[in-house]
Amino acid sequence: MRSLEGELALVFAEDVIEEVYTVLQDSFAEHPDLPTALMFLETIFGAGELVGRREYRAEVEGWTRRIRDHEDAPLAAASVVAEVDALVTGDKDLLVLKQVGIIPVLRTKELLELIDGRSKVP
């Protein structure tokens, strides 16, 4: 996520997008609403900026050593490379860090409070 001060801009790491699609397709393969859910995701991801794996690949190894769940390293690396204002997640292994470099790690609820003006960036 970029620009808490001005317009909200969403940033998505390539690894995250691939993981979301894989999990949905594997977990809900037989669900009748899967095609609709996938089209909705296309809309959400299309509204944001893609940070390609090649842009943050060099940073992943360093984050792998600092994060409890190594699968979260690409997200941390992409956040730093994209210079986002905050990393928004529900992942406990990232939330426990409180920050990735100088980037605050926020829950969705905290982001919504920031947008609503009820709190300040940590």
| pLDDT tier at 72, thresholds 50, 70, 90 | very high
For residue 40, is pLDDT > 70?
yes
- Mean pLDDT on 101-117: 88
Bridge partners for 51 per DSSP = 13
Is pLDDT of 69 > 90? yes
CB 42 within 8 A of CB 80: no
pLDDT value of residue 114: 83
Which position has the higher pLDDT, 34 or 116? Answer: 34
φ and ψ at 111, to 5 degrees? -60, -45
pLDDT of residue 21: 93
Structure tokens belonging to residue 121: 């960036």
Residues 6+ apart with CB under 8 A from 22: none
Structure confidence at residue 2 (pLDDT) = 46
Q: pLDDT at position 59, please? A: 95
